[in-house]
Each structure stands twice: as C-alpha cells, then as structure tokens.
Structure 1
Amino acid sequence: MNRAAEETWRARIRGCLLGGAIGDALGAPVEFDSGRSIVAAHPDRLRTFVSGSAGWPPGTITDDTQMTLFTIEGLIRAGVRTDRGIGFTVAVVHHAYDRWLDTQTLPGPSGERDGWLQGEQWLYARRAPGNTCLSALTTARKGEPKIEQFGAPAENDSKGCGGVMRVAPFGLLPSTWFERDWVFDAAADAAGYTHGHPTGKLASGALAVIVREICEGADLNTALDAAAAVLTQRPRHEETSAALAAARKLAATAPGHGPVTVEQLGGGWVAEEALAIGVYAALAYPEPEQFLDALALSVTHTGDSDSTGAICGNILGALHGETALPPELVFAIEGRPVILELADDFALEFTKPSRLHGDYNPDRRWRTRYPGW
C-alpha cells in the first residue's frame, strides 16, 4: 500500500466509524417513533441531534456504536495475536463482546480486565442494549474468561439487527491480508456469536463485503454487486439477497422519498431489513455533499432508526472518508476522541511494514494496550 492509498484508507476508517456513530446518535431519539410523527416534528427530516424520551443528551451513542468499538478493538487484538505468532482468530472479537457485556452489567471498570477500552467510564452506560445480545453473551460466559471458551455460535434462531449493526470494521481490514470471502465469513461468524439465524449472519457478511469493496476503491453499486455475488454462494441467502435487490430497485425508482417509501423495506428490526434501509438511503443520496441527506432519510421512518442510521453512516463514511461528515455533528458526537483513537490504532496495527516480513514483535506498551486475546 503506497502512501497516498494508505492515507485514503485511514480517512475511510475514520469516516466509517464516525459516520456510523453519527447515524446511530441521530436515529436513537426517534427509534420508537412513527415515521409520521418524526416528519411532523422535523418537516425537513431529522438532520440534527435531539434529545429523546430516554433523556439522553443530543449526540448520545447507543449499544450499536459501543459494540462496533469493541469489534474494532477485538480486531486489533487479533492482529497483535498474529504479531506474537499465536495466530489470528475471530474468537478474539467474541472476547471483546464479553468485555462489552461488563459495561452493561457493572457500574464501572472492575480493574480485573486488561487493555484500555474497557477502562473508559463513559462506555459503562446502558443504551437500550438488545436482549438477544445480552442473553447470548451471558450464556457464553463461563467463569474466568479464556480464549478457548469463545468462538461458539449462539444457540438461538434470532435474525435481529444486533449483529449487522456492529460488523462494519471487518470490511476495513486491508485486502493485502484478508480475502473477500474470509471477510464475509468472519463478519458472519462475529454476528453469529449472538444471532444464530442464517439471515442475521449473512446480512452481516454482506455489509462487511460492501465496506471492503468500497475501501478498495469500488463505487457503491459495484460493491453491492460484489456482496451479491458472495451471498449467492451461501446456503439460505435468499432473504438477504432479496432485501438488497429490493433496496436497489427502490433507490432506482423512488430515490430520496419519505418514510412511507423507506418502510416498503421493513422497519429495520431484523438484519436484512436494517441493511436494506441503510443501503437504500446511501444509494438515494450517494454524493459527498449529500451525506446528511442520506442519514436523515435512513432514520426518518417507523422502525429501528439508530441501527439503520448507523449502517448508512458506516457505508457512506467508508465511501467518502471523514471530510464528508457533517462537521456540526462530528463535533457533537459522544466519544469522538475514543472513536478516532481506535481508528488510528487500527490503521497502525495493520500497516506496520515489518509485518510483511514476518519479523515484527510488538513492544510491551502496545501489547499492554492490546493484549492478544
């Protein structure tokens, strides 16, 4: 990766993570409102952070972004694991979700966990976490955490959107290290730690491939073609494939219409619908200067507005990079320093030149910051 390509990739990483957080925070206050009531309160669609019924301050993120941050922290740790000669395994991300579970069950850092992210007090806030995630992760927890106990799929049949809303970071991994099919399957496995239905997993793999192809320089339609091609090779892909096809068709025939149009794709409570709504909004307003238009469309509907906003923000943030993000929302998003710190650490971990020669060994400070499991 040359210097120019690396800088573009870094901007895409930052854009993807920040864009997802902004979409999440934009949609969270209206998650349980009808599309009609949202439009009544915001005739030009919801385009700025507001307070919701839960009383959270404007710009507050939810469990969508919390879990996305632990996803990317887990991927960094998996990289460090490889640096140390132990081997890359997606189960490290499962262990990261176990640390996220601490933030939902404890009042603050216990001092018994390693790494730095779990020490961030502001993450210890319950922001409407999905019951499926909480239940599956609690079931997977067996005493003192060890890497061997992680990596098993959830024993449920849920296809809720709690898997797809957190896996975009898999698409940010550099293609020099990870092939397209691996990215799809790894993201699907990560979603499967909490959501056992094939559609919940396949929609997650599809999102990761969309982000990956965009990071490789593809436009959105080409990235969607690539995701569709991988999907058709997987058993029981039909629901996810049909949802993406419907989003593309709707964007071609009714781009930028209001909540009634969006709701033809569903409410976003399940994985394939959340992905379809995020994709539709991104296709309806694909240009950098239309970023806020797309986010506003993605959250203005009767349904899971924070998850659909997060997915749309992940996609367009990766497509356009951080400079296309609405500055007034970037400035106000909760946790911005930590989000950017993780983005830059992720880029650092996967661009160390000596790794290409197999002789890299991270120093003690980095291994303390990101232990290998």
Structure 2
Amino acid sequence: MTISSSAVTDTLRARIRGCLLGGAIGDALGNPVESRSLAAIRAAHGPAGVTGPVPDGEAVTGRVTDDTQMTLFTAEGLIRAHARARSKGIGGAETAVVRHAYLRWLDTQNHPAPPPPSGPDDLVRSGSLRLQPWLYARRAPGNACLSGLGRKYVPDPYAAPTGRPGPVNSGSKGCGTVTRSAPFGLTGAPAEDAFRLAAQCAQITHGHPTGYYAAGAFAAIVRHLLDGDSLEGAVPRVLGLLARHPGHQETTAALRRALDLAADGAPGPEKLETLGGGRVAEEALAIAVYAALARPRSIEDALLLSVNHSGDSDSTGAVCGNLLGAQHGDSALPASWLALTEGRAVVAELADDLAYAFHGPAPAYDEPLFPYERYPHH
C-alpha cells in the first residue's frame, strides 16, 4: 500500500503525540499508588486494584510526577539543540544542551513558582516550560537526578577506560534514566544514534552501565515503534543492538525475562512482580514492556497492569504509556483519562513542536511557521 507524504507526516505526528501524552497518562495513573503494596492497592480500590484514574493523597486526580517533567525538558533540550545547529551550523552539542535543559528542570524544583516576568523578552530567555506553574511542583524527584546535576561529568557510553573522571553517581542505575528518555527515539535519528545519545545523556546523572544502557535501549525501541514496527519486533532488534556494548547484560536479561513472561500464559500483577519493582532502570523497562506485550488488545488494560504492583508504579506506567502511544498514536489513548491528565495541552504542544522540528518541512531558520522563540538556543 502506498501512503502519501502528508499521511506519513500525520502518522508521525500522531505517534509522537501518543508517546508523550501516553507517558503522562501512565505517570498520572500510577502516581497515587506508587510504592504501595499490591495488597494495600487492592484493599483500597478492590480486587482488581485501580481500574482508572483515582485521586492522589491530596484528593487531586491526574497529577504527573518528575517522570513527565523531565521527559518534557528532554524534548525541549533536543529542540533547542536542533535550533542551535540550524542557526549556527554547530552540531554535536546535544548532550550539553540537554544537560542545560535538565538544569532548568532542577531550577523548577528549587523554587515554588515561575519568576515574575521581567519584560517582553522573558519568554525568549526562559523558554516555555519554565513559565508553567504546574512544573514547579516537587513530585518525589530521584536523588541521583538531583545530585548528579550539581556535578561535572564525562559522558562515556561505551565504558571505555580513559583515565579521566567517569560519569557521576557511578553506582546509580535508577529508573529516572529510562523514564525521561523517550524523546531521543522521536527525532528520526537511526536507532543506534538514539541509543547512543540517550546513553550519553543518562550519564549526566547516573553512571552505572545498566542505568544508561537501559535508557539507550528504551530510546531505540521507541525509534522502531515510530517507524511502524511492533513492540514484538522492536525489542529483539534492540537486544541485538545491546549485545554490541560491554555492560549490557543486566538490561538484556531483564528484557528477555519480559519477553518470556509475556509469552507464558495469562498475565497478572503477581507475574509482573517477578520482574522487580521498577525502581531501577532495567526493571522499569522490563515491566513496561511486559505490560504492553501481555495486554496487546487494550491500551487501558496494559496501562492498568503496568501500575498495579508493589513498586514504582508511576515510572512503570509512564514508560508503558510511552511505548503504547508511540505504537498506536494519540487517537488510541483513552480520552477520558487524558482529559484528567495534568499539563496535557503543554505536552501536546511540545510534541507537535518536536514533530515539526525534526520531521516537518525544512524551511529557512526564520520560517515563521515554527515557534523557535520558545526554544532559545543562545
């Protein structure tokens, strides 16, 4: 079947929107039950656990966490790096620009609200995300993310000995590397390049090889889904990519367990919990992949499976939502759940900007159709 270029553009936009919005839905779905035991979840919500969005501890439904916050700053950083390369002809600075985006996120975590506007150029200086009050909410950010952003680092994604200082937090492989890395797979770069850049940027805060290789694997899976591959097809391809890199073993083993478990009879939370709690990178990725594969006919059921467990439910829900949205597009997401999700309009706008920047027409840099003023590159 031949698809017109305009249809391809619409499909890409839908998958990019789906990826970011799906992640936000899963994040908000898991947030109220994060780190609660499965027994406690069932006691509070019934034998099936949560069956849809529920209020959190402050009786608010649909609030996202640091997982969605950092994902948005990843996307913003990538667009800024793209704008910098177009305007100045200087490429290859993505890691540094993304790190600056994470520092802007860190700034939101240290202040209660956006600073008051100081003039008409405030938007250009600050970027659009730093003007969003809801992003200033501190929703249990990871310790490695907070500490790593205050230290210098040397990205070394292939763990080659250099005699130089290595990545910060060398023992950290927390799930924050994975939960923020979907945008690396949405730019259209080849899967190996998405893997490499996600691994490099994971090392900004986490230095354990499993932490950054799991992030790279996730980005590469998202890249294949963007091309229209199925999750069943994408994961084995990424396992082949992982095998090229020393230190891949924990991530590879976790993904293989997820594949085997999804093929092994009826799914359920008890079976999911054999993959771990999702607090470290390879477990979060494996749980998300398992849930998406085990419930292939229903996005709602897959998301619910990804959060009804005793571990880091918002993180596993976010990653599962990223995968499902990238595969099926935004129109397949549960509309009633999306309507309750915090910041959904900002997430959609950022997704559209990412789609246009990396997949749209290639106009001159001053083309007025693209809002580069929201992504200052200087």
TM-score (norm 2): 0.89
Question: In 2, are the aligned partners of 1:246 and 1:276 still within 8 Å (CA)?
Answer: yes
**1:60 matched to which residue of 2?**
63
Equivalent in 255, 262, 285 of residue 295 of structure 2: 285
**Offset at residue 363 of structure 1 (A):** 5.6
Q: What secondary structure sits across from 1:317 in the alignment?
A: helix
Q: What secondary structure sits across from 1:33 in the alignment?
A: coil
Question: In 2, are the aligned partners of 1:81 and 1:88 still within 8 Å (CA)?
Answer: no
Q: Quote the Cα distance in structure 1 between the aligned partners of 2:59 and 2:194.
A: 35
1:294 aligns to 2:302 (yes or no): yes
Equivalent in 357, 360, 376 of residue 371 of structure 1: 376
How many pairs does the alignment contain?
Answer: 353
1:271 aligns to 2:281 (yes or no): yes
The 5 Å alignment of 1:64-83 reads 64-83=67-86
Equivalent in 86, 107, 112 of residue 112 of structure 2: 107
Q: What secondary structure sits across from 1:138 in the alignment?
A: coil
Q: What secondary structure sits across from 2:150 in the alignment?
A: helix
Q: Give the unaligned 5+ runs of structure 2.
A: 154-165
The 5 Å alignment of 1:215-234 reads 215-234=226-245
1:89 aligns to 2:93 (yes or no): yes
Question: In 1, are the aligned partners of 2:38 and 2:308 still within 8 Å (CA)?
Answer: yes
**Offset at residue 243 of structure 1 (A):** 0.1
Q: Quote the Cα distance in structure 1 between the aligned partners of 2:312 and 2:59.
A: 17
**2:150 matched to which residue of 1?**
138
Letter of the 1:268 partner, please give it.
Answer: G
Q: In 2 relative to 1, CA 365–262 (structure 1 residues): closer, same or farther, beyond 3 Å?
A: closer
1:235 aligns to 2:243 (yes or no): no
Q: Deviations along 1:148-202, whole A, 9 cap, x unmatched?
A: xxxx84243200101111101111112xxx2221110101111111111000000
Q: In 2 relative to 1, CA 352–324 (structure 1 residues): closer, same or farther, beyond 3 Å?
A: closer
Q: Quote the Cα distance in structure 1 between the aligned partners of 2:368 and 2:336.
A: 38
Q: Give the unaligned 5+ runs of structure 1.
A: 142-151
**1:144 matched to which residue of 2?**
none
1:37 aligns to 2:37 (yes or no): no
**1:51 matched to which residue of 2?**
55
Q: What secondary structure sits across from 1:235 in the alignment?
A: coil
Letter of the 1:372 partner, please give it.
Answer: H
**1:247 matched to which residue of 2?**
258
Identity across the alignment (%): 54
Q: In 2 relative to 1, CA 364–313 (structure 1 residues): closer, same or farther, beyond 3 Å?
A: closer
**1:198 matched to which residue of 2?**
209
Q: In 2 relative to 1, CA 328–352 (structure 1 residues): closer, same or farther, beyond 3 Å?
A: closer
Letter of the 1:264 partner, please give it.
Answer: T
**Offset at residue 37 of structure 1 (A):** 1.7
Question: In 1, are the aligned partners of 2:20 and 2:347 still within 8 Å (CA)?
Answer: yes
Aligned CA-pair RMSD: 1.9
Q: Quote the Cα distance in structure 2 between the aligned partners of 1:351 and 1:16.
A: 15
Letter of the 1:326 partner, please give it.
Answer: P
Letter of the 2:179 partner, please give it.
Answer: M
**Offset at residue 88 of structure 1 (A):** 4.2
Equivalent in 326, 332, 351 of residue 343 of structure 1: 351
**2:195 matched to which residue of 1?**
184
The 5 Å alignment of 1:348-359 reads 348-354=356-362
Q: What secondary structure sits across from 1:61 in the alignment?
A: coil
The 5 Å alignment of 1:93-172 reads 93-110=98-115, 113-140=125-152, 153-172=167-186
Equivalent in 27, 30, 43 of residue 30 of structure 2: 27
**Offset at residue 38 of structure 1 (A):** 1.4
**1:146 matched to which residue of 2?**
none
Q: Quote the Cα distance in structure 1 between the aligned partners of 2:371 and 2:334.
A: 33
Q: What secondary structure sits across from 1:163 in the alignment?
A: helix
Q: What secondary structure sits across from 2:339 in the alignment?
A: helix
Letter of the 1:135 partner, please give it.
Answer: S
Letter of the 2:276 partner, please give it.
Answer: G
Q: In 2 relative to 1, CA 365–277 (structure 1 residues): closer, same or farther, beyond 3 Å?
A: closer
Q: Deviations along 1:271-311, whole A, 9 cap, x unmatched?
A: 00000000000000123xx0010000000111000000001
Q: What secondary structure sits across from 2:151 in the alignment?
A: helix
**Offset at residue 354 of structure 1 (A):** 3.0
Letter of the 2:139 partner, please give it.
Answer: R
Q: In 2 relative to 1, CA 206–365 (structure 1 residues): closer, same or farther, beyond 3 Å?
A: closer
